């Protein structure tokens, strides 16, 4: 099973590389680091708090900083819903520009989790309402572009050992679509393909270290970014321990 999943991810990567040879593609190397924290309040309720930083090695294209907070309600061990707010500071993509744009973002999500052929499978649908500040001639304009973005994440964690402290294989893919009257040329936003490992550090912390291939269409619909991203995400779980 694990070989089929990895093979699928390999095919997606090869497809993205093939597309890159046929279109106006700008390739970048990035590092993405984040801390994703969950605070368990009781059997059903959790508070969520994330901090993200994505750095592009060769220039500022695709670079951002993001803070996100929310609340999650666990209906059953397999079904949860969440909602919250995020704020992002987005670097300019034009060479020589220095002004960061602000983005205000609301989000809602549903997550389904289950066992699948020996792996831990999660499906997450997230809907985002994004107000992104427009920067013209390296100056803030005070106007914003509204986009409703729909995201679907398929995430596999495949145990490599019966020891829970040993690494698990992480295989995931997420596709994102833009919707709304301000969307003209780029209904397709991006696809993220992820391959790496996840490992527990202790009872409260775990991390994943992965390669992420991000294939993103620009707003003009004519050019694309293909970002080769080293991803290091930390996950903290705190608060009341809930028994099954």
* Of the candidates 148, 120, 116, the residue with the CA atom closest to the CA atom of residue 132: 148
User: b/e per residue, 184-218, with b = 16+ CB within 10 A?
Assistant: eebeebbbbbbbbbbbbeeeeebbbebebbbbbbb
Q: Please report the pLDDT score of residue 9 as a whole number.
A: 55
Interval 108-159: pLDDT, tens: 999 999 999 889 999 999 999 999 999 999 999 989 999 999 999 999 999 9
Q: Is 235 within a domain?
A: no
How many whole angstroms separate alpha carbon 97 and alpha carbon 63? 13
Find out whether 191 and 215 touch, Cβ atoms under 8 Å: yes
- Compare 102 and 23 and report the one with higher pLDDT: 102
Q: Which 8-state DSSP code applies to residue 62?
A: T
188, containing H or E segment: strand 188-200
Q: Is 217 within a domain?
A: yes
User: b/e per residue, 69-98, with b = 16+ CB within 10 A?
Assistant: ebebebeeeeebebebebebebbbbeeeee
**How would residue 1 be classed by pLDDT, with cut points 50, 70 and 90?**
low
Q: Please report the pLDDT score of residue 128 as a whole number.
A: 99
Interval 172-228: pLDDT, tens: 999 999 998 889 899 999 999 999 999 999 999 999 999 999 999 998 888 999 999
Q: Please report the pLDDT score of residue 13 as a whole number.
A: 56
Q: Is 239 within a domain?
A: no
Q: Please report the pLDDT score of residue 242 as a whole number.
A: 58
Q: Is 241 within a domain?
A: no
Q: Is 111 within a domain?
A: yes
How many whole angstroms separate alpha carbon 113 and alpha carbon 78? 5
Cβ neighbours for 16, distance < 8 A, ≥ 6 positions apart: 191, 193, 213, 215, 226
Q: Is 242 within a domain?
A: no
Q: Please report the pLDDT score of residue 59 as a whole number.
A: 76
Rounded mean pLDDT of 83-107? Answer: 94
Rounded to two decimals, the pTM is 0.88
How many whole angstroms separate alpha carbon 229 and alpha carbon 113? 26
* Of the candidates 187, 178, 190, 185, the residue with the CA atom closest to the CA atom of residue 215: 190
Interval 3-59: pLDDT, tens: 555 555 556 555 555 554 457 899 999 999 999 999 999 999 999 999 999 999 877
CATH at residue 203? 2.40.160
Q: Please report the pLDDT score of residue 24 as a whole number.
A: 87
Interval 216-227: pLDDT, tens: 999 888 899 999
* Per-residue pLDDT at 168 exceeds 90: yes
Domain that holds residue 9: 2-225
Q: What is the mean pLDDT of the chain?
A: 90
Q: What pairs with residue 159 in β-bridges?
A: 168
Number of domains in the chain: 1
Q: How many residues does the chain have?
A: 244
Q: Please report the pLDDT score of residue 20 as a whole number.
A: 47
Q: Which 8-state DSSP code applies to residue 15?
A: H
Q: Is 237 within a domain?
A: no
Q: Is 82 within a domain?
A: yes
72, containing H or E segment: strand 64-76
């Amino acid at each position: 099973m694990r070989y089929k999943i990895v093979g699928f991810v390999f095919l997606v990567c090869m497809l993205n590389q093939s597309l890159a040879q046929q279109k106006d593609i700008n390739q970048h190397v990035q590092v993405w680091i984040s801390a994703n924290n969950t605070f368990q309040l009781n059997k059903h309720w959790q508070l969520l708090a994330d901090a993200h930083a994505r750095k592009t090695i060769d220039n500022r294209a695709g670079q951002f900083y993001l803070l996100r907070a929310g609340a999650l309600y666990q209906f059953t061990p397999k079904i949860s819903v969440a909602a919250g707010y995020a704020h992002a500071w987005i670097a300019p993509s034009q060479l020589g520009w220095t002004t960061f744009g602000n983005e205000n973002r609301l989000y809602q999500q549903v997550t389904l989790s289950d066992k699948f052929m020996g792996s831990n499978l999660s499906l997450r649908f997230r809907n985002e309402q994004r107000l992104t500040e427009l920067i013209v001639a390296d100056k803030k304009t005070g106007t914003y572009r509204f986009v409703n973005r729909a995201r679907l994440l398929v995430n596999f964690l495949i145990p490599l050992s019966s020891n829970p402290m040993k690494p698990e294989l992480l295989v995931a893919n997420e596709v994102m679509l833009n919707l709304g009257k301000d969307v003209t040329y780029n209904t397709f936003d991006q696809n993220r393909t992820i391959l790496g490992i996840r490992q527990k550090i202790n009872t409260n912390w775990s991390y994943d270290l992965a390669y992420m291939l991000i294939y993103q269409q620009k707003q003009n619909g004519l050019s694309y970014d293909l970002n080769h991203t080293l991803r290091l995400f930390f996950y903290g779980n705190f608060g009341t321990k809930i028994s099954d």
